[in-house]
Amino acid sequence: MFRRVASLAAGALALAACSSIDSLNEAMPLPSGSRAVSEPAGDATAPAMPVSAAGFAIQTHARTDLRNYDRFSFMTATTKGLAPDAAARADERIRGMVDAAVNDALAADDGACIEGEATCGIFELTLDVLPCSGEILCLKQDVNGVPVGSATSDQRVDVLVLDSVTGRAVDLSRFVPIEATEEFLAAVNAEVAAAQQQAGFYDPAYPTEVTEDDIAGWAPLSDRIQIWFSRYSAGPGAMGAVTVSVPYPGS
pLDDT at 3: 35
Between residues 41 and 201, which one has the greater pLDDT? 201
DSSP character at residue 236? -
pLDDT tens digits for range 52-77 = 579 999 999 999 999 999 999 999 99
The β-bridge partners of 57 are 78
pLDDT tens digits for range 101-121 = 999 999 999 888 988 788 899
The span from the first CA to the last CA of the chain, in angstroms, equals 33
For the chain, list the domains and their CATH numbers. Answer: 21-163 (3.30.565.40), 172-246 (3.90.640)
Burial (CB < 10 A; 0-12, 13-18, 19+), residue 93, is middle
Q: Is the pLDDT of residue 186 over 90?
A: yes
CA 163 to each of CA 83, 160, 170, 220: distance values in angstroms, whole numbers, following the listed order: 11, 10, 6, 12
